Amino acid sequence: MGHSREDSRKETQEPLTPALFHVLLALADGEKHGYAILKEVALRTDGKVRLSAGTLYGIIKRLNEEGWIAESSNRPAAGLDDERRRYYRLTEDGRRVAVIEARRLEELLGMARSKKLFRKAEVA
């Protein structure tokens, strides 16, 4: 039997950059437009990750080309939205990639803990 796309991706997926992962994570709970993604990433990371508009739209282009996100056709009511905004959603492939990355990070954190890298006061 052959390998599925998910199996081959799981075996070969390179680690994502923090910026790519944060954009996927921002879309994990629903569709957002670019500015909302920027705001969520900055808020969720307490300003440690700040994406410029140019960086974000480069990431969006790449994620779209990879098939990990897609432009959404769903729109808020006309009076509640700027018609120029584009909304993006996570695809099933994008969710799988984000989960693989989250598990990779979780595994690394487990290794650090098993080596007693953190002092008790440093661990939340």
Residue 110 lies in a domain: yes
- The tens digit of pLDDT for each residue in 20-79 reads 999 999 999 999 999 999 999 999 999 999 999 999 999 999 999 999 999 998 766 666
Domain count, the chain: 1
Structural domain of 29 = 17-122
Q: Is residue 52 part of a domain?
A: yes
Q: Is residue 66 part of a domain?
A: yes
CA atoms of 86 and 69, how far apart (whole Å): 12
37-62: burial string, b at 16+ Cβ within 10 Å, e else: bbebbeeeeeeeeebeeeebeebbee
Within 10 Å of residue 97's Cβ, how many Cβ atoms? 24
Evaluate whether residue 113 is within a structural domain: yes
Answer whether residue 43 is part of any domain. yes
Q: Is residue 4 part of a domain?
A: no
State the pTM of this model.
0.82
Q: Is the pLDDT of residue 117 over 50?
A: yes
In 74-89, which positions are buried (b, 16+ CB within 10 angstroms) versus exposed (e)? eeeeeeeeeeeeebbe
> What CATH number has the domain bearing residue 82?
1.10.10.10
